[in-house]
Amino acid sequence: MINVAVVGVAGRMGRMLVEALACDKYTSLVAAIAPPESALLGVDAGELVGAGTMGVAITDSLEKCIDKVDAVIDFTVPDYTLENAALCAKYKKKLVIGTTGLTEAQIEGVQKAAQETGIVFAPNMSIGVNLVFKLLEMAAKTLEGDADVEIIEAHHKNKVDAPSGTALKMGRVVAEATGKKLEDCAVYAREGYTGPRKQGTIGFATVRAGDVIGDHTSLFACAGERIEVTHKASDRIIYARGAIRAVRFLQDKQSGLFDMQDVLGLS
């Protein structure tokens, strides 16, 4: 059994991770972390998700229980994720990061931590989404820049970063497949008199509404035809299952930074 800690159990993904771990035969939840101000401190993590008593009381410190942990799963916020990455590097604990919205400097911090321990860092842990990334690479290479590419994403009204990490990853996959950097061709907003669409750009459109879990579409518009590659999430359990698969992948990795393409053998 792989002993796992989940940080951020007070959030939606944190609870989903606890639920998934309760059903997984390869892993065991041994620590559940919530913010110091959380009213959930002391509550059994299993009772939090209706899985019965798991014998894991929610605490406010990962470091206090790091010795009994083999791997940590973190779907929280960038600053907290960076702290946890440094902690996992210090104690040589494997880390799976699903947090989005990290700055370039914060990503460099994750890369530094990966020199000391194995880390899977992915904007989307869904197996289906990562298959979509591969399909986008194939489409971009096949169309050889002949298509206008637009990426449309929708999430619930409480999501705080835009475009989503998954949408940005989609754009990066398409850009790199055609020999470009996303930073040089991305268009994140259009308003007023914009003039004709510039050849070779990748446009992004963002929707924030209701309780949408996550919809992503990449549109390749060519003369006379359009190709749309779409993924729609209907249950957050898909991200939890992917994260657990990433935990298992890391067990023989002493160090290094990986993504879900590596986990699924799609690299």
**Hey, which residues are catalytic here?**
155, 159
What are the strands, taking DSSP E only, across the chain?
Answer: 2-7, 27-33, 58-59, 71-74, 94-97, 118-121, 148-155, 186-187, 202-208, 214-222, 225-233, 256-258
DSSP 8-state assignment for residue 76: S
DSSP characters over 146-186: -SEEEEEEEE-TT--SSS-HHHHHHHHHHHHHTT--HHHHE
Cα end-to-end distance, the chain, whole Å: 27
Contact, 129 vs 216, CB < 8 A?
yes
Q: Is the peptide bond before 163 cis (omega within 30 degrees of 0)?
A: yes
**What phi-psi label fits residue 23: left (phi over 0), alpha (psi between -120 and 50 degrees) or beta?**
alpha
Contact, 204 vs 188, CB < 8 A?
yes
Contact, 118 vs 255, CB < 8 A?
yes
